[in-house]
């Protein structure tokens, strides 16, 4: 029975917890040549034609603070809309110019492209300076924004209602206790009331003790002006128990107000299906432009596509489409490099129009490249029988135009190109009648044009016919001799190190010493005509050598540190002025401890060795600091930063901020 009650309690708790389904992502878009960022929330299931809510944060704030406070995202799964939180360029918004206005306009276009939002139902909310931006932009964006929802801020230096040529749907939420935009000081109520006169509202209603939702922990006074000529509405919600911060309790009031409004619902809608806002194109591509238009109360009569202000194509219609969709498709071949504006104008049978636009960036095309040659460029030790060369390009090239020549003893000779048409892989053969003498030979390849009509400059390949002796300056070429000699030198260094580490004290390096021996044997008689293979072999030998050298150096330091400790212990063993010091006894203990006197099983463990060196050196330094005469000279080079444990002349450990003479790693330094 108790188990049943526990399960029932868990289920009840689960039912009481709100679960919000949404996707959040950070998106960058380019506005006026500058990258701008926004945080976007979308429902898990996103239908076509959903509304868009834009929310601008306050000064010295960011989208993360704003959405963490207003929690508007909690509504989107049930209500099905998209939220975009733009990020300011710096700590403030441009409340006097057009840079951030252009950012908001670009966001609308981008959200329409990515998610197919309904551009008739775009809403804009904001907090503090984000609200100032709303009022600044409002008069010139009434054909883009269906409803505005500023909170806790006004653009006190402007009177935007005087420039509004269309009715304004506006809700302002403001706390009675706002100490940044105090109600009386900025006369917020009168400021908002000016907008009711734009549409000549005739109805007024005030509700005291109003709560934005049932059970809300605060209330306020809600005033609504409505009944205007065009049906617009202005609302002011002044609430108690709040200050100058976003109130998540207002999100429901803001959304319920905004969602009732739309720009002219009978204006045709237009969607640029492709190219997408984040599509990538180059100047040799063909851009497939696809436009889709709809009209709720009739039919679309024309779709016109403009590219950089000039009409590129148009489609006309004379009757209602069976599925209600009207299409325009255009293949834009080889656009020029740079930014281009696609503008679409859709007209319906009532002569109402809708415009949408998108900026498309065309980059330079990827260059044509010679990605592989067999034999590879700069090959050496070739025989005169090597007459066939295989080339691989990054794009198919026109083999009929390609020409290749080699300079030989009796003049220049042409290769026969075996492929025809366009191919990425090309085979060139020098005729058997051509005599190739030993020495450095050059192939020049011209007429390289790919299937995108991109040309490539002349390619020059170098080959050495005949054996190259790395120690004979008259043999081969300087580059081939250098390539071979690098491996010879690396092998000599490896062999010497292998011999040195044969001593018993280096027996703990066998795990890296024997692999070096295997590498030496593998490459001692190395033969290849490929420079790449010679360089790779050199790298293998050097890596194995460096690995053993590092282990040897570490062991040498370990033995040296123990020798220093042993010398100090023996030297002061019979000196009562020092052998009774705590630092001396600590050094003796450390010298014989398992942490500093490593067992054989740890002598091949680099981390154990490094730790032993560090620990023992600390005890050495602490003791040396007690013996002023033990280190006579102060190192001339000042120490600007702490690189190891340091002690003062009294044997006390000091930190990076200490100034004076310090003992560090057995030496005196001046800080």
d(CA 259, CA 262): 8
Cβ-based neighbours of 326, under 8 Å, separated by 6 or more: 292, 293, 294, 295, 299, 300, 303, 315, 317, 346
Whether 265 shows a pLDDT value over 80: the answer reads: no
| DSSP H or E run through 395 | strand 388-398
Count of alpha carbons within 13 angstroms of residue 346, beta-carbon side: 24
For tokens 């002061």, name the residue: 572
124: nearest Cα among 92, 101, 98, 156: 101
Q: What is the pLDDT of residue 293?
A: 93
Give the residue with greater pLDDT, 357 vs 152.
152
Q: What is the pLDDT of residue 660?
A: 63
d(CA 166, CA 195): 10
112: nearest Cα among 344, 265, 261, 271: 271
pLDDT in tens, 525-583: 999 999 999 999 999 999 999 999 999 999 999 999 999 999 999 988 888 888 899 99
Whether 261 shows a pLDDT value over 80: the answer reads: yes
Structure tokens at 287: 């851009």
Lowest mean pLDDT among 359-373, 472-486, 654-668: 654-668
For tokens 């040897």, name the residue: 552
Whether 670 shows a pLDDT value over 70: the answer reads: no
329-344 mean pLDDT: 93
pLDDT in tens, 439-464: 999 999 999 999 999 999 999 999 99
Q: What is the pLDDT of residue 495?
A: 98
Cβ-based neighbours of 409, under 8 Å, separated by 6 or more: 435, 437
At residue 659 the predicted structure's pLDDT band, cuts being 50, 70 and 90, is: low
Q: What is the pLDDT of residue 8?
A: 40
Structure tokens at 360: 């498309």
Q: What is the pLDDT of residue 18?
A: 55
| DSSP H or E run through 668 | strand 667-670
Structure tokens at 44: 């898990």
pLDDT in tens, 142-165: 999 999 999 999 999 999 999 999
Q: What is the pLDDT of residue 629?
A: 52
481-504 mean pLDDT: 97
Cβ-based neighbours of 659, under 8 Å, separated by 6 or more: 671
312: nearest Cα among 284, 282, 335, 294: 335
Torsion of CA 627, 633, 637, 642, to 10 degrees: 0
Torsion of CA 627, 631, 633, 636, to 10 degrees: -110
Q: What is the pLDDT of residue 17?
A: 43
Q: What is the pLDDT of residue 372?
A: 97
At residue 4 the predicted structure's pLDDT band, cuts being 50, 70 and 90, is: very low
Q: What is the pLDDT of residue 12?
A: 41
At residue 626 the predicted structure's pLDDT band, cuts being 50, 70 and 90, is: confident
pLDDT in tens, 7-18: 344 334 344 445
- Whole-number Cα distances in Å, 45 to 78, 120, 499: 10, 21, 70
pLDDT in tens, 83-134: 999 999 999 999 999 999 999 999 998 998 888 888 899 999 999 999 999 9
Whether 47 shows a pLDDT value over 90: the answer reads: no
- Whole-number Cα distances in Å, 213 to 175, 219, 249, 254, 312: 17, 10, 8, 11, 52
Q: What is the pLDDT of residue 465?
A: 96
For tokens 């205007």, name the residue: 228
pLDDT in tens, 512-529: 999 999 999 999 999 999
Give the residue with greater pLDDT, 655 vs 143.
143
Q: What is the pLDDT of residue 283?
A: 93
Helix pair 582-592, 606-624: axis angle to 10 deg: 160
């Amino acid at each position: 029975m108790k188990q049943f009650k526990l399960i029932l309690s868990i289920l009840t708790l689960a039912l009481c917890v709100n679960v919000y389904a949404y996707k959040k992502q950070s998106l960058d878009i380019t506005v006026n040549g500058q990258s701008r960022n926004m945080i976007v929330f979308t429902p898990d299931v996103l239908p076509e034609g959903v509304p868009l809510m834009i929310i601008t944060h306050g000064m010295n704030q960011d989208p993360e603070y704003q959405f963490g406070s207003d929690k508007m995202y909690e509504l989107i799964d049930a209500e099905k809309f998209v939220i975009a939180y733009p990020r300011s360029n710096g700590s403030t918004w441009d409340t006097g110019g057009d840079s951030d206005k252009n950012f908001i306009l670009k966001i609308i276009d981008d959200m329409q492209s990515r998610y197919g939002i309904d551009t008739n139902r775009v809403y804009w909310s904001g907090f503090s300076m984000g609200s100032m931006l709303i009022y600044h932009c409002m008069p010139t964006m009434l054909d883009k924004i269906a409803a505005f929802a500023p909170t806790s801020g006004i653009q006190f230096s402007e009177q935007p209602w005087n420039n509004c040529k269309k009715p304004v749907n506006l809700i302002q939420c403001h706390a009675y206790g706002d100490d940044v935009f105090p109600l009386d000081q900025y006369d917020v109520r009168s400021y908002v009331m000016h907008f009711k006169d734009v549409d000549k509202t005739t109805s007024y209603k005030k509700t005291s003790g109003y709560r934005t939702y049932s059970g809300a922990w605060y209330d306020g006074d809600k005033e609504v002006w409505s009944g205007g000529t065009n049906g617009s509405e202005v609302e002011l919600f002044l609430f108690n128990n709040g200050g100058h911060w976003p109130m998540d309790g207002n999100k429901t009031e803001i959304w319920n107000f905004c969602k009732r409004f739309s720009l002219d619902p009978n204006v045709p809608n237009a969607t640029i299906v492709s190219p997408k806002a984040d599509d990538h194109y180059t100047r040799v591509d063909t851009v497939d432009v696809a436009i889709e238009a709809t009209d709720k109360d009739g039919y679309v009569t024309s779709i016109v596509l403009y590219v950089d202000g000039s009409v590129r194509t148009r489609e006309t219609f004379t009757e209602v489409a069976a599925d209600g969709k009207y299409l325009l498709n255009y293949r834009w071949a080889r656009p020029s490099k740079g930014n281009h504006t696609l503008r679409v104008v859709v007209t319906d049978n009532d002569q109402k129009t809708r415009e949408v636009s998108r900026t498309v960036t065309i980059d330079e095309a990827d260059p044509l490249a010679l990605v592989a040659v067999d034999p590879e460029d700069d090959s050496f030790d070739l025989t005169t029988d090597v007459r066939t060369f295989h080339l691989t390009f990054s794009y198919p090239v026109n083999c009929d135009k390609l020409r290749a020549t080699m300079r030989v003893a009796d003049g220049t000779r042409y290769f026969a190109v075996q492929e025809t048409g366009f191919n990425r892989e090309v085979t060139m053969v020098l005729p058997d009648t051509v005599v190739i003498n030993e020495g450095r030979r050059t192939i020049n390849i011209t007429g390289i044009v790919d299937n995108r009509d991109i040309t490539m400059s002349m390619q020059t390949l170098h080959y050495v016919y005949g054996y190259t002796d790395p120690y004979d300056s008259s043999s081969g070429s300087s580059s081939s001799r250098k390539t071979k000699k690098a491996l010879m030198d690396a092998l000599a260094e490896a062999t010497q190190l292998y011999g040195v580490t044969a001593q018993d004290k280096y027996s703990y390096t066998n795990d890296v010493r024997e692999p070096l021996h295997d590498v030496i044997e593998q490459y001692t008689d190395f033969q290849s005509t490929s420079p790449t293979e010679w360089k790779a072999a050199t790298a293998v030998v050097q890596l194995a050598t460096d690995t053993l050298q590092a282990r040897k150096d570490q062991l040498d330091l370990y033995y040296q540190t123990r020798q220093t400790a042993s010398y100090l212990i023996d030297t002061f063993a019979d000196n009562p002025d020092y052998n009774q010091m705590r630092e001396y006894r600590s050094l003796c203990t450390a010298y014989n401890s398992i942490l500093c006197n490593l067992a054989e099983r740890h002598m091949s463990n680099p981390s154990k060795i490094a730790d032993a060196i560090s620990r023992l050196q600390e005890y050495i330094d602490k003791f040396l600091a007690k013996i002023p005469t033990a280190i006579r000279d102060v190192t001339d080079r000042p120490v600007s930063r702490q690189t190891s444990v340091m002690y003062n002349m009294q044997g006390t450990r000091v930190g990076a901020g200490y100034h004076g003479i310090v003992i560090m790693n057995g030496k005196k330094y001046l800080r």
